[in-house]
Structure 1
Amino acid sequence: MPEVVPLFSTPLVTFDVPDSAALNIELRRVIEQRMRSHPSTHKSNQGGWQSSWDMDRWGGVAAIKLLAHARNLANQMTTDHQGVVGKGPYPDHFAVTWIGNMWANVNRSGDANEFHSHPGAYWSGVYYVDDGGIAADPSLGGELEFLDPRGSVPLMNAPHLRMSGSLSAGATERVTPEAGKMVIFPAWMMHGVRPYRGGAERISIAFNLAV
């Protein structure tokens, strides 16, 4: 049997945050309060409301707790060149001090986010406070979408073919939002949000972690 070695793979990490139901109630409360008192910023968002990038300052205990989950997940997913996991300042572990920032996004019907990356960060991520019904009905759209970092190169010579084990080469991959789910990925990955078509609110919190 031939051996397939997945060279240069890109990590996409998903994590179900514990006690997310209670956490989401408080996060939704502070986001709705902020939305009533502050206008939207305009960065990658196409419609919808996006907060300033300092939610760790105005989001209260719930926001700090969420960012702590993100830092812990990043520690588990980050190693040195020998593959040692960065769990803290112990004799056989290296230490990483993550500088984090975070912001809230509220998308309603027709809202989306164009493709972008997060220069200056190491990990980026998103946490879903309310998936707007997408988890139960994927036809509502609103998926997190990633571009193949190789661009269209894998499709240029024979666009009707795929190499075994790489069916989405040259295209995109999508992650379906689910309340309580956290997703982290390298900050250089181009990503966006598909238009949401539901009648509720798709509420998420994005964050960056820099070294």
Structure 2
Amino acid sequence: MLQINGLFPVPFAFDTHPNPARLNTALRSLFLAREKEGARYANPGPITLRNAPLFESTFHLFAWPEPEIVELRDFCLSRVAQLVGELNNYDEATRRRLDIHADAWFHITRRNGFFGVHNHPLASWSGVYCVAAGQHDANDPDSGLLNFLHPHIGQAMYIDAGNEFLKQPFGIQNFGLSLQPGQLILFPSWLLHQVLSFHGEGERITVAFNCSMKLRSA
């Protein structure tokens, strides 16, 4: 009997904070206040294409002492540790030896803000946590979409009835996600992605982070 298997899957992980409203209210207030301080907290050397309606902070967010940052950091990194342990088949003793280093920052995006295609060098796993989604314009489902580019660069070189409608996880389309407050997504750092232009009122606020890790000696 014919067997169909996927040989090159890309692992993603999803979770939601158990009490996001309280946490996100505190985070939003903190981030808006820090944004108002301008260059003190802004990324001094931006590389990825973006425009003026998007504010990007420095990359030291998880080192901040505020309790809401500590709570967010612990939530995010605990999920990274769980993901890494599961995918690598680490036993409990090995998981306790895992040291995770993380760089983290926040984005505040207002109308027409976008963030271009990029990935995250010098890291194995990355994540995005949604603080606020903003109020998207009606009938604009792509507003502020976190869009992951299909990693098989030749997947669309020829499309016909044999591959146009492949079911997941074999599809040839990119993957787009409209983040909701409290939602966390984890993905391999090498995977190219972008944030499409935000069309709406208010602020779209997210926290992004990159993780590199090693195992301590037993």
What is the TM-score normalised by the length of structure 1?
Answer: 0.86
Tell me the equivalent position of 1:77: 83
Aligned to 1:67: 73
Q: Report how far residue 65 of structure 1 moved.
A: 1.5
Shift of 1:55: 1.1
- Residues in 1 aligned to 2:148 and 2:58: alpha-carbon distance in whole angstroms: 24
Amino-acid identity (%)? 23
In the alignment, the residues of structure 2 paired with residue 35 and residue 14 of structure 1 have an alpha-carbon distance, to the nearest angstrom, of 28
CA contact (8 A) 2:85 2:95 kept: no
Give the partner amino acid of 2:157: M
* Alpha carbons 1:31, 1:59 under 8 Å: kept: no
Cα deviation 1:188-208 (Å, max 9, x = unaligned): 000110100001110111111
Distance 1:15 1:80 in 2: 15
Task: Give the residue type in structure 1 aligned to 2:84.
Answer: T
- Match for residue 190 of structure 1 among 186, 189, 192: 192
| Structure 1 partner of 2:177 | 175
- Pairs aligned (count): 205
Q: Which amino acid aligns with 1:33?
A: A
Query: Is contact 1:122-1:210 (8 Å) kept?
Result: yes
How far residue 104 of structure 1 moved from its aligned partner, in angstroms, is 0.7
Q: Which residue of 1 aligns with 2:209?
A: 207
3-state SS in 1 of match to 2:152: coil
Shift of 1:75: 1.5
Q: 1:15 to 1:121 in 2, by over 3 A?
A: same
Matches within 5 A, 1:55-204: 55-58=61-64, 60-79=66-85, 83-85=88-90, 87=92, 90=93, 93=95, 95-134=97-136, 139=141, 141-151=143-153, 153-158=154-159, 161-162=163-164, 164-166=166-168, 168-169=171-172, 171-204=173-206
Give the unaligned 5+ runs of structure 1: none
Query: Match of 1:156, as an amino acid?
Result: M
Instruction: Provide the rounded CA distance (Å) in 2 between the counterparts of 1:203 and 1:3.
Output: 44
CA distance in 1 between counterparts of 2:128 and 2:60 reads 15
Q: Secondary structure at the match of 2:104?
A: strand
Q: Distance in 1 between matches of 2:95 and 2:63?
A: 30
